[in-house]
């Protein structure tokens, strides 16, 4: 296993649309293992392959308090949604920014697991939020895109300033 570098906003590579995984093989399983290690080390509750510059449709999630319920979703699809809810979100690619985002309250998800088996299940609460957030990454979208223009501009300015300071 290996820790992978997490891309930070406004890195344009975060805007890449991920491609479907063709075969769940050892390469994908190694990617999944690395993603879990990187997510737990951060620490975070979700990570999309896009965030480590791998543009394949893979996400990992663990919203349990003890971080002992790893869930890996390959080629995830949202089959249906219900209701809407606003939750404060953060993102490992947008450090130190927490903003309220509106998303579906309950979702039905279809995805392959790490053995390539097709699973379908319902998610609510933090799990539903997290899966929707990570699936946005696979489309090249970030949670800041869902905020008002004013908030987005303020965040963009902050990160541009940080970047200038780092150069």
Please report, as ranges, the residues that interact with Ni ion according to CB under 5 A. Answer: 91
26 is catalytic: no
In the complex, least distance from residue 107 CB atom to Ni ion, rounded to whole angstroms: 17
Residue 24 or 91: the one with the smaller Cβ distance to Ni ion is 91
Residue 33 has a CB neighbour count (10 Å cut-off) of 16
Residue 90 or 116: the one with the smaller Cβ distance to Ni ion is 90
Closest chain position to Ni ion (CB): 91
Residue 72 or 91: the one with the smaller Cβ distance to Ni ion is 91
Residue with tokens 């300033």: 161
Residues 6 or more apart whose CB falls under 8 angstroms from that of 146 comprise 101, 102, 136
With vertex at residue 77, the alpha carbon angle to CA 86 and CA 89, rounded to the nearest 5 degrees, is 25
Q: Which of 77, 99, 134, 139 is catalytic?
A: 134
In the complex, least distance from residue 21 CB atom to Ni ion, rounded to whole angstroms: 19
Is 59 in contact with 31 (CB distance < 8 Å)?
A: no
Residue 110 vs residues 8, 40, 72, 121: alpha-carbon distances, Å: 28, 24, 12, 7
Residue 111 or 130: the one with the smaller Cβ distance to Ni ion is 130
In the complex, least distance from residue 18 CB atom to Ni ion, rounded to whole angstroms: 13
In the complex, least distance from residue 44 CB atom to Ni ion, rounded to whole angstroms: 8
Instruction: Provide the annotated active-site residues.
Output: 134
């Amino acid at each position: 296993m290996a820790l992978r570098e997490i891309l930070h906003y406004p890195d344009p590579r975060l805007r890449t649309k991920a491609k479907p995984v063709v075969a769940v093989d050892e390469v994908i399983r190694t990617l999944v293992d690395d993603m879990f290690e990187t997510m737990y080390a951060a620490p975070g509750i979700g990570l999309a392959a896009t965030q480590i510059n791998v543009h394949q449709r893979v996400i990992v999630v663990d919203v349990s308090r003890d971080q002992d319920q790893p869930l890996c979703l390959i080629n995830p699809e949202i089959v249906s949604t219900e209701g809407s809810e606003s939750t404060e979100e953060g993102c490992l690619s947008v450090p130190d920014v927490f903003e309220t985002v509106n998303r579906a309250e309950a979702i039905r998800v279809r995805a392959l697991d790490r053995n390539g088996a097709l699973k379908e299940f319902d998610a609510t609460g933090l799990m539903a939020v997290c899966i929707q957030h990570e699936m946005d990454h696979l489309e090249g979208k970030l949670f800041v895109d869902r905020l008002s223009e004013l908030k987005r501009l303020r965040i963009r300015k902050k990160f541009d300033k940080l970047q200038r300071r780092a150069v």
